[in-house]
Structure 1
Amino acid sequence: MINASRILIFLLVSGICSVVCVAQEETPEEPVNPPPAESLSAPKAVNVTPAVEDSEISARLTRILKATEWFEDPQVDVEEGVAFLSGSTNDEKYRQWAGDLSRNTQDVVAVVNRIEIRQPDLFDLSASYGTVKSIMRNTVQSIPIILAALLVLLFTFLAMFISGHLADYTILSRFQNKLLRGVVRKGVLLLVFLLGIYLVLQIAGLTRLAATVLGGTGLFGLIVGIAFRDIAENFLASILISMQNPFRYGDLIEVEGIQGYVQRVNTRGTLLMSLDGNHIQIPNSIIYKSKILNYTSNPKVRLDFLVGVGYDVPINEAQSIAKEILESHPAVLDDPEPTVLVEGLGSSTVNLRLYYWIDGHKFSVLKVNSSMMRLVKTKFEERGFSMPDDAREVIFPQGVPVTMVSAEEAAATKTALPQQPVQQPSRSPVEIQDEETVTDAEGSLASEYTELERQSQQARDPEEDSTDLLTS
């Protein structure tokens, strides 16, 4: 509002100054000394009495020069038909006129013009006084035009106020987006304001300037668009983002490898809060032209992890136990149901990939995955399932000592050892206790968004005064 008021005041002052300048151009400026009514061209002949004497010519010309009041102390001396002019004047044209007058006088054969041009005094303010007087006179004459222009401006502001409220209850009521409402409202107010400025210029007599203002508006917009191309691109991108709504406040998105929760969208960029609690602002042009991965648009999130069991472990039993663990976990959804697939046969393990879905709005992806891997490992160990590491080649630089045993000694050793049957682990339903679902180290399985939002509220907002376009 402050910037708009300054612009309106500037335009008002410019309009008043233009009116005054036009009035000055239309009113001819009078010189400090009034111009002569007679023509500056000398007459072709001066009638004098017959048998003219030099004294008569001198007296006649001197009286003429004094009568014009253009000269100071004019004096004409004539000797043998040669006229000597002396005195001073303010302008060269008056000096030239006196010489032509003398040449055209009867019985004057030559003219010696010694009239001097007076230089203005260093402290002579008469010229400035005349200019100021002319400006004041023109300003007074322009007062009716200025009052009419101010009245039109007043009605223009009133029309802008009424137009804005009418637009709010008619056209703008159909727009749900805050940014679009603001752009359309400003466009309506700008049209009314330009019409008022056009009428002011018409009243002031600046018809050409009024046409230039209307015609130059498009050119000015083109120049501004080229000079501020990036700003204009971000502004247009913000409008398109507001219309399409690819994300909402609080959504977890990923753009150009940057992941975070949406905090605000303004005319310049989109503010994200990363999972580390840092604020990241991305220009809207990049947001609009890049791939947007929205993790929150669908609350169901599929997670997976890999676990390897030994080749001695029954694969069907391992898959069944892993699936029962997934189905009994409180964070795992029943639809879609979890699956356990054999992904590959490693050098020393059979690799199982566990897939399951959770509600990303309620539960944390990192914490649920941690809880699930811990539970699977614990249950596999309880069942006696081996989970060997990848096979490695072991080198003994010093060699390995080997003791040769005879066949009789080996048979005696085998007989001495009691034969114990290999016990197969009993197949019983998998039960997960509540205290096993989550540990103190993992904390709650709830989503981290609440905690991150609380941390962001305690941090300084990098754009406290900016407008949030996500709020309607």
Structure 2
Amino acid sequence: MQLIESIFIKLQAYFSIDRFGELLSGLFVKLVIFILVLMVFYTIWWLLSRLIESTLNRRFDKTSASFASISIKICLFGIGFVVALSAAGVETAALLGSLGVVGLTLGFALKDVISNIISGVLLHMDRPFTVDDLVEVDGKYGRVDLITLRTTRIVTNDGKMVAVPNAEVMNKTVVSYTNFPHLRLDISVCVGVSEDLDNARMLLLSQIENDPDYMTTPSPAVVVTQLNDYNVELELQAWISNERKHIKKAYELRERIFKSFISSGIEMPCETIQLAQHTVNVKMSNE
């Protein structure tokens, strides 16, 4: 009986309100210190980002500047987190030692995220495209707005933001429309088999004459790409000086060609299917 009473007294002393008050007040103080240290590092980053942003943009292109800014931010907040834990009384040495096992476990759980981060670093090193390039990744076309460590963000023509995982970008075929100085437009059109091809060729080439957006060197050309039973497929190949206008110029050129063919009386036949009615005589035999 005395043993039970002594245990009860010890438990009552250990779980007393005063003891809980001390523990909560101590945890509150440590939490406040932790938050204050993080706020100090955030303020440092806010001031530093304003200072280095202009410097990075002057010395590097947008892609390198973005990668450097993200790397500095991650390093600074990583250091700030460790310092905040240490200031709050957490044994960071033991914590960092235990992160090895935790990191191995998280590595298996977050393998896709880690794969995207590694791919993001490789994208910055390989440079298949840069920020502001016009690209097509697995059928997704648009302007590269930002390359982070996890995703490549593309703004489409209709104003949508498409975030493509970097691992997918590395494993897919990437088409860049702005990596080289000039771009060729290939506009296909069909004419009837009885039409004069030389006349159609001259009419097509006349649509880009006196237009400063089209280049004379390399010179434009009209080639026959396919011979069909019902039409001949021609292709106007013209180089433009500003590759960023290729969609707008292609739309304009198609409309211009259509109007000129209609006004010139050039036939543009499509594939047709003729249905013929057949009468089938069925003889019935009586047994």
Q: Bin the TM-score by the shorter chain.
A: 0.5 to 0.7
Q: Does 1:374 align with 2:255?
A: yes
- Structure 2: gaps spanning 5 or more residues: 23-29, 280-287
* Residue 231 (structure 1) aligned to one of 97, 102, 113: 113
Cα gap change, 1:190/1:315 in structure 2, threshold over 3 Å: closer, same or farther?
A: same
- Residue 296 of structure 1 is matched in structure 2 by 178
Give CA deviations for 1:322-342 in whole Å, capped at 9, x if unaligned: 223233345423233211012
Q: Provide the rounded CA distance (Å) in 2 between the counterparts of 1:350 and 1:130.
A: 98
* Residue 160 (structure 2) aligned to one of 259, 262, 278: 278
Question: How far 1:299 moved relative to its partner?
Answer: 5.5
Q: Provide the rounded CA distance (Å) in 2 between the counterparts of 1:129 and 1:190.
A: 37
Cα gap change, 1:182/1:323 in structure 2, threshold over 3 Å: closer, same or farther?
A: same
Cα gap change, 1:380/1:234 in structure 2, threshold over 3 Å: closer, same or farther?
A: closer
Q: Provide the rounded CA distance (Å) in 2 between the counterparts of 1:311 and 1:121.
A: 108
Matches within 5 A, 1:63-102: none
- Residue 321 of structure 1 is matched in structure 2 by 203
Q: Provide the rounded CA distance (Å) in 2 between the counterparts of 1:127 and 1:338.
A: 96
* Residue 71 (structure 2) aligned to one of 180, 194, 217: 180
- Structure 1: gaps spanning 5 or more residues: 1-117, 140-149, 202-208, 399-472
Structure-2-length-normalised TM-score: 0.62
Matches within 5 A, 1:153-232: 176=65, 177-185=68-76, 213=95, 215-232=97-114
Choose between structure 1 and 2: higher helix proportion.
2
Matches within 5 A, 1:35-50: none
Q: Percent same amino acid among aligned pairs?
A: 25
Give CA deviations for 1:402-432 in whole Å, capped at 9, x if unaligned: xxxxxxxxxxxxxxxxxxxxxxxxxxxxxxx
User: What SS class does the counterpart of residue 239 from structure 2 fall into?
Assistant: strand
Kindly provide the amino acid, as one letter, of the partner of residue 295 in structure 1: Y
Question: How far 1:389 moved relative to its partner?
Answer: 4.8
Of 333-342 and 227-236, the range deviating more from structure 2: 227-236
Q: Are the aligned partners of 1:247 and 1:294 in contact in 2 as well (CA < 8 Å)?
A: yes
* Residue 336 (structure 1) aligned to one of 218, 236, 240: 218
Kindly provide the amino acid, as one letter, of the partner of residue 180 in structure 1: S
Q: Provide the rounded CA distance (Å) in 1 between the counterparts of 2:13 and 2:271.
A: 105
Structure-1-length-normalised TM-score: 0.41
Give CA deviations for 1:271-303 in whole Å, capped at 9, x if unaligned: 333334333322222223322222233363322
Kindly provide the amino acid, as one letter, of the partner of residue 360 in structure 1: E
Q: Provide the rounded CA distance (Å) in 1 between the counterparts of 2:103 and 2:278.
A: 81
User: What SS class does the counterpart of residue 357 from structure 1 fall into?
Assistant: strand
Larger radius of gyration: 1
Q: Provide the rounded CA distance (Å) in 2 between the counterparts of 1:122 and 1:215.
A: 43
